[in-house]
């Protein structure tokens, strides 16, 4: 193999192993064995496991960031449902690695890994603003809503991985409605945000997740 081809192979092997176990539990010997090469040859391409982990994380970060991309067509609620489905696909495929990364550990926490995690969060933030049709800096309260929601998505995924006691599809729908609820609360104190949300809500179908949330809230108030 050429140098770059071999590097990409090792990154792929590392990602596959990290998807099954925490990076701290995966040795260079195991990566070498799975790739069909010797341990010294791994070090020829990567100085150590951390550098290989960072390279694998960079590929995973690019993959995860792309999960928030969605054509800006149709109701926002439906778009977010598809985004959440792709996000949880990633979490399910890379569970132990995702958990180790978000919770921290010896194999993570370097400036490079922290920057990569932040880049995924920033990409998600920018995609969410684009979905809402926001150009330029977001209103302060909207920024709080979106960044808080991204943190909620991460923590929900980690809780789900620990036993998977709640159906995944239920959590995906819940997170979409969580976003609507957070935005609605903030809009009560921000007319600019309220105007933005009114325009988005008008596009929602009668059976959409945002409309369903409103119906549930009304039902609770009437009981």
Q: How confident is the model at residue 166 (pLDDT cuts 50, 70, 90)?
A: very high
Q: Does the pLDDT at position 181 exceed 80? A: yes
pLDDT digits (tens, 9 = 90+) for 89-135: 999 988 877 876 776 555 555 677 788 888 889 999 999 999 999 98
Q: Does the pLDDT at position 217 exceed 80? A: no
pLDDT confidence of residue 126 = 95
Whole-structure pTM value: 0.84
* C-beta separation of 9 from 1 below 8 A: yes
pLDDT digits (tens, 9 = 90+) for 29-82: 999 999 999 999 999 999 988 888 888 888 888 888 888 888 888 899 999 999
Distances (CA, A) of 121 to 61, 102, 202: 10, 12, 28
Pick 114 or 181 by higher pLDDT: 181
Q: How confident is the model at residue 212 (pLDDT cuts 50, 70, 90)?
A: confident
Pick 21 or 91 by higher pLDDT: 91
Any idea how long the chain is?
A: 223
* C-beta separation of 67 from 83 below 8 A: yes
Lowest mean pLDDT among 56-60, 75-79, 149-153, 208-212: 208-212
Pick 170 or 58 by higher pLDDT: 170
Q: What is the DSSP string of the chain?
A: --HHHHHHHHHHHHHHHHTTS-GGG--HHHHHHHHTS-HHHHHHH-SSHHHHHHHHHHHHHHHHHHTT---S-S-HHHHHHHHHHHHHHHHHHTHHHHHHHHH--TTS-SHHHHHHHHHHHHHHHHHHHHHTT--SSPPHHHHHHHHHHHHHHHHHHHHHHTT--S-HHHHHHHHHHHHHHHHHHHHTT-HHHHHHHHHHHTT--TTSHHHHHHHHHHHHHH-
Mean pLDDT of all residues in 191-205: 88
pLDDT confidence of residue 221 = 66
Share the mean pLDDT of the chain. Answer: 87
Q: Does the pLDDT at position 141 exceed 80? A: yes
């Amino acid at each position: 193999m050429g140098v770059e081809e071999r590097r990409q192979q090792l990154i792929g092997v590392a990602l596959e192993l990290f998807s099954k176990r925490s990076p701290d539990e995966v040795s260079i010997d195991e990566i070498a064995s799975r790739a069909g090469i010797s341990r010294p040859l791994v070090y020829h391409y990567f100085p150590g496991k951390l550098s290989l982990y960072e390279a694998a994380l960079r590929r995973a970060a690019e993959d995860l960031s792309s999960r928030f991309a969605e054509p800006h067509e149709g109701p926002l609620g439906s778009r977010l449902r598809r985004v959440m489905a792709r996000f949880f696909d990633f979490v399910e495929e890379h569970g132990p690695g995702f958990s180790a990364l978000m919770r921290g550990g010896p194999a993570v926490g370097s400036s490079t890994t922290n920057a990569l995690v932040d880049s995924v969060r920033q990409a998600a933030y920018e995609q969410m603003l684009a979905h809402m049709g926001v150009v330029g800096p977001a209103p302060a309260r909207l920024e709080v809503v979106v960044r808080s929601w991204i943190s909620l998505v991460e923590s929900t995924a980690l809780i789900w991985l620990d036993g998977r006691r709640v159906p995944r599809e239920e959590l995906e729908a819940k997170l979409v409605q969580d976003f609507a609820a957070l935005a609605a609360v903030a809009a009560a104190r921000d007319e600019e945000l309220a105007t933005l949300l009114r325009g988005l809500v008008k596009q929602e179908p009668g059976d959409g997740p945002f409309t369903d949330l409103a119906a549930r809230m009304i039902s609770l108030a009437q009981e």
